[in-house]
């Protein structure tokens, strides 16, 4: 059959056109289709990821611990296992009621907690993001400001101080400045004037805690007594410009003296709950902090008992014996009969034996009897004697 030449030309034009249309429609069906609702949802999700994190500062309550706080912020048992599997020194962290930690929420599944170590500039940062969790221990770059306040003693000294500084830690550090020289509760008179300069630490523009007390002045028996904080490696000490401490036979056994409990023949034991003499001074420090020999001498004995935990006893040439209890570790060179120098590391702070939190129990025997060490030791360790005794 012959095809009309005109129809033939039409077919030659139409068939390729139809094939191209079919091909274009087929390809179009393979391209994902997006409607306006889906675009809006995608944009909302992107906006949620990019929103600024929500930040809250939360005060510690009595009985709080890191373990009890984490579940409150959605950390699962697996998250907590991941965090504590890092081997970080969490024993350095003490949660004091009234102090705060920072909570930051980046999204429902991504949060971060920051805990502040005191004293010092260290922080613990704990986070979870989906199924993953982790922790970091680092130095924090605080904005530090100095503040000076003053007042008068109008009752118990600790309460009078807290009316002005509104922080128990700072009030206790003020008392530490005079602990080596005076028994303040017994000698202070009502109306005695005081002033102090201390550090405030800010994180993201928020007052997050307090640093050190830098300077103190206190009226004692109508005379103004001043103390100044002398920083040193590993800590610092309160000193006086006209101190007579050079005549004392022993040095401080720690580089940072925070006195938690003093010599008390009738103290109520915190664990046994009945009165047992407390024959020494408890220096509150983080676990692992170095313990220093109070003077040169020879190691009389070392060991471990149920009550004292790991301990060292050193006999000095002046006839005194110094005791170091509750240690986490004894230095390898400290063995019976070994000679030690003043300021030499004899071990590390711990909580072995009868103990509620890490500290050094330091005691002194004179003529075979325990005596109050506070009048025998200087407020600073032998490692900085050249700075103070000149």
Query: Could you read off the pLDDT of 254-268 as tens digits, one per residue?
Result: 999 999 988 887 766
Q: Which of 4-8, 54-58, 215-219, 228-232 has the lowest mean pLDDT?
A: 4-8
Residue 111: the pLDDT is 97
Residue 8 inside a domain? The answer is: no
Question: Does 92 share its domain with 165?
Answer: no
Residue 149: the pLDDT is 98
Question: Does 160 share its domain with 130?
Answer: no
Against a cut of 0.75, is the pTM above it? no
CA dihedral angle for residue 117, residue 119, residue 122, residue 123, rounded to 10 degrees: 20
Q: What is the pLDDT of residues 361-372, one digit of tens each?
A: 999 999 999 999
Q: For residue 55, give Cα distances in angstroms to 49, 107, 127, 220.
A: 15, 12, 14, 45
Residue 211: the pLDDT is 87
**Residue 67 lies in domain:** 54-139
- Is 80 exceeded by the pLDDT of residue 23? no
Task: Give the percent of the chain with pLDDT over 70.
Answer: 84
Question: Does 257 share its domain with 182?
Answer: no
Instruction: Read off the tokens for 264.
Output: 């008390």
- Average pLDDT value over all residues in the chain: 86
End residue of a domain, out of 232, 259, 281: 232
- Is 70 exceeded by the pLDDT of residue 109? yes
Residue 290 inside a domain? The answer is: yes
Nearest to 362 by CA among 267, 257, 265: 257
End residue of a domain, out of 139, 162, 195: 139
pLDDT-derived band at 7 (thresholds 50, 70, 90) equals very low
Residue 46: the pLDDT is 40
Question: Does 157 share its domain with 112?
Answer: no
Better pLDDT: 301 or 247: 301
Q: For residue 338, give Cα distances in angstroms to 68, 88, 295, 314, 360.
A: 45, 34, 14, 9, 21
pLDDT-derived band at 241 (thresholds 50, 70, 90) equals confident
Residue 307 inside a domain? The answer is: yes
Residue 41: the pLDDT is 38
Helix ranges (H only) for the chain are 5-30, 36-50, 66-69, 77-84, 157-165, 168-176, 184-187, 385-388
Residue 313 inside a domain? The answer is: yes
The CATH number assigned to the domain holding 173 equals: 3.10.450.350
Q: What is the pLDDT of residues 34-53, one digit of tens each?
A: 444 443 333 334 444 456 78
Q: What is the pLDDT of residues 123-154, one digit of tens each?
A: 999 999 999 999 999 998 889 999 999 999 99
């Amino acid at each position: 059959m012959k095809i009309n030449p005109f129809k033939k030309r039409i077919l030659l034009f139409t068939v390729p056109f139809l094939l191209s249309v079919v091909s274009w429609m087929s390809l179009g069906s393979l391209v994902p289709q997006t409607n306006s609702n889906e675009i809006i949802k995608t944009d909302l999700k992107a906006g949620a990821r990019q929103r600024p994190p929500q930040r809250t500062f939360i005060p510690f309550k009595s009985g709080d611990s890191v373990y009890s706080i984490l579940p409150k912020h959605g950390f699962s048992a697996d998250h907590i296992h991941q965090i504590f599997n890092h081997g970080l020194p969490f024993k350095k962290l003490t949660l004091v009621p009234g102090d705060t930690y920072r909570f930051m929420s980046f999204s429902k599944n991504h949060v971060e907690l920051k805990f502040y170590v005191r004293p010092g500039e260290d922080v613990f940062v704990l986070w979870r993001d989906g199924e993953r969790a982790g922790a970091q221990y680092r130095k924090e770059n605080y904005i530090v400001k100095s503040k000076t306040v003053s007042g008068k003693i109008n009752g118990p000294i600790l309460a009078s101080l807290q009316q002005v500084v509104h922080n128990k830690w700072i009030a206790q550090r003020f008392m530490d400045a005079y602990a080596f020289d005076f028994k303040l509760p017994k000698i202070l008179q009502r109306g005695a004037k005081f002033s102090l300069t201390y550090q405030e630490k800010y994180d993201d523009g928020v007052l997050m805690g307090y640093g050190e007390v830098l300077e103190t002045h206190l009226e004692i028996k109508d005379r103004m007594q001043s103390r100044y904080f002398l920083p040193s490696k590993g800590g610092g000490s309160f000193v006086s410009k006209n101190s007579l401490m050079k005549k004392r036979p022993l040095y401080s056994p720690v580089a940072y003296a925070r006195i938690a409990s003093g010599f008390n023949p009738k103290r109520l034991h915190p664990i046994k709950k009945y009165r047992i003499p407390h024959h020494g001074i408890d220096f509150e420090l983080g676990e692992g902090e170095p313990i220093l020999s109070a003077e040169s001498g020879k190691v009389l004995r070392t060991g471990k008992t149920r009550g004292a935990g790991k301990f060292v006893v050193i006999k000095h040439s002046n006839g005194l014996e110094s005791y170091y209890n509750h240690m986490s570790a004894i230095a390898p060179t400290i063995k019976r009969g070994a000679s030690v120098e003043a300021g030499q590391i004899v071990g590390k702070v711990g909580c072995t034996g009868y103990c509620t939190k890490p500290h050094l129990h330091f005691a002194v025997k004179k003529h075979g009897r325990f005596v109050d060490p506070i009048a025998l030791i200087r407020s600073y360790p032998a490692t900085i004697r050249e700075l103070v005794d000149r």
